[in-house]
């Protein structure tokens, strides 16, 4: 009974302190809108804020995220403190952690908690494959901090591929916080308009050795041509190369459900509209396999998100592909 009781207590505190949380979010959103700069991703701030919160709730240690968020130009100190203080207090009093910040994530994955669940998915991929691979590539790195969570003596060479302006902001943040970036190469490139793979090679990436690619929360924002081009470039790498990615299906682009209408409207307003979805025609796994094989990769593992029935279609997927 402890969990239900602690949950009731947690949400009771959150309700009482809701005005504080609301003021914090208003300040945060206002600063974000004021700071918004063309070419700099605003959606990338969400995953960083989530990992920062997990760190403060004792769920997932991430000192780099803890240091980066407060210096992000679009994240005001007062807004962060006010919006997070009620939650941290409620957690301290009750020990309860809402689904959005649980780690490892073990509950049913719905669209509203997909971003939280994928933290566990991608961390598991890193733990599983990096011990045998020494090249680590983050495609659309955003404000991801995984390269800075690796042991100091790691032989892994990391590469972050991101659009120029977003990457410039991140590099400035990393320098400001003094985080060690000596084992990370930064590759500034736009997936839809530039030869990111050529720039990756120029940065020291060795196509003759296998690599681990993480493509988290990116595919949905690219057009189909860029998605297929990226998959083909990964397939140019050495045998044993692994690509882990997440994606929505065409449900996200076509559904009239309120959640998906809001998702499309909000990302469009942020200047990063949803563009791509894996074909949701059942069985979706077969459609994903066809896409990967057409680009030279094989599906190693896949988790369908959502039910596939006569009336329902899967809305998302977590997947691992491999170059055989």
List phi, psi (to 5°) of 86.
-60, -40
Answer yes or no: do 89 and 130 share one domain: no
Neighbour tally for 88: CB within 10 Å: 13
Q: Give yes or no: residues 155 and 37 share one domain.
A: no
Statement to judge: residues 197 and 252 lie in one domain = yes
> How much is the pLDDT for 33?
79
Q: For residues 295-307, b (16+ Cβ closer than 10 Å) or e, as one string?
A: bbbebeeeebbbe
Structure tokens at 286: 């077969």
Final residue belonging to a domain, choices 50, 76, 101: 101
User: Closest Cα partner for 245 from 278, 273, 213?
Assistant: 213
194 CB-contact burial (10 Å; exposed 0-12 / middle 13-18 / buried 19+)? middle
Domain count along the chain: 2
Q: Is 106 inside any structural domain?
A: no
pLDDT higher than threshold 70 for residue 4: no
Q: Give a yes or no: residue 248 inside a domain.
A: yes
Tokens of 103: 């780690």
Q: Is residue 129 part of a domain?
A: yes
- Residues 79 and 148 reside in one and the same domain: no
Residues 151-210: pLDDT tens digits?
999 999 999 999 999 999 999 999 999 999 999 999 999 999 999 999 999 999 999 999
Answer with the one of 76, 101, 126 that is the final residue of a domain. 101
Residue 260: both structure tokens together: 């998906």
Instruction: Work out whether strand 212-215 and strand 157-162 pair parallel, antiparallel, or are unpaired.
Output: unpaired
Residue with tokens 């032989």: 155
Helices vs strands, H then E, count in the chain: 12, 7
The tokens for 226 are: 């860029």
Q: Is residue 124 part of a domain?
A: yes
172 alpha carbon, distance to own chain's centre: 20
What are 201-250's pLDDT values in tens digits?
999 999 999 999 999 999 999 999 999 999 999 999 999 999 999 999 99
Rg (the chain; Cα; Å): 20
Q: What is the pLDDT of residue 38?
A: 79
**Inter-residue contact 2 to 9 (CB < 8 Å):** no
* β pairing state of 157-162 and 184-188: parallel
DSSP 282: S
Residue 34, pLDDT score? 80
- C-alpha distances in Å from residue 79, one per residue of 31, 71, 72, 97, 162: 9, 12, 12, 21, 27
Q: Residue 200: which H helix or E strand, with range?
A: helix 196-202
> In angstroms, rounded to a whole number, what is the distance separating the alpha carbons of residues 229 and 124?
26
Spell out the alpha helix ranges (H) of 36-163.
45-56, 63-68, 77-94, 114-129
DSSP 270: T
* Residue 294 C-beta-side C-alpha neighbours within 13 Å: 11
pLDDT tens per residue, range 31-63: 887 887 878 888 888 999 999 999 999 999 999
Report pTM: 0.94
Residue 320 predicted with pLDDT over 50: yes
First to last CA, the chain: 49
CATH number, position 151: 3.40.50.150
Task: Write down the residue that tokens 């495609």 correspond to.
Answer: 139
Domain, as residue range, for 298: 111-322
pLDDT at 73 over 90: no
């Amino acid at each position: 009974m402890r969990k239900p009781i602690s949950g009731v207590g947690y949400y009771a505190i959150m309700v009482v302190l809701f005005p504080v949380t609301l003021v914090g979010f208003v300040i945060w959103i206002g600063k974000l809108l004021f700071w918004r700069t063309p070419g700099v991703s605003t959606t990338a701030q969400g995953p960083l804020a989530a990992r920062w919160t997990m760190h403060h709730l004792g769920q997932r240690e991430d000192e780099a995220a803890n240091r980066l968020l407060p210096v992000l130009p679009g994240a005001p100190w007062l807004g962060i403190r006010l919006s997070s203080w009620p939650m941290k207090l409620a957690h301290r009093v009750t020990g309860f952690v809402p689904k959005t910040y649980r780690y490892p994530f073990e509950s049913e994955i719905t669209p509203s908690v997909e971003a939280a669940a994928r933290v566990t998915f991608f961390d598991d991929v890193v733990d599983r494959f990096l011990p045998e691979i020494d090249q680590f590539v983050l495609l659309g790195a955003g404000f991801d901090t995984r390269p800075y969570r690796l042991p100091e003596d790691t032989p892994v060479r990391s590469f972050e591929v991101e659009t120029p302006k977003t990457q410039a902001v991140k590099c400035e943040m990393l320098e400001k916080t003094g985080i060690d970036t000596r084992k990370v190469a930064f590759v500034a490139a736009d997936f839809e308009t530039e030869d990111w793979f050529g720039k990756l090679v120029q940065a020291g990436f060795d196509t003759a050795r296998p690599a681990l690619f993480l493509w988290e929360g990116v595919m949905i924002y690219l057009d189909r041509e860029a998605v297929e081009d990226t998959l083909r470039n990964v397939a140019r790498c050495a045998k044993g190369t692994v690509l882990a990615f997440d994606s929505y299906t065409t449900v996200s682009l076509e559904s009239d459900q309120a959640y998906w209408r809001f998702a499309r409207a909000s990302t469009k307003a942020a200047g990063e509209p949803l563009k791509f979805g894996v074909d949701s025609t059942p069985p979706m796994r077969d459609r994903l396999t066809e896409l990967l094989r057409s680009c030279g990769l094989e599906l190693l593992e896949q988790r369908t998100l959502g039910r596939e029935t006569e009336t329902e279609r899967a809305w998302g997927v977590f997947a691992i592909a491999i170059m055989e």
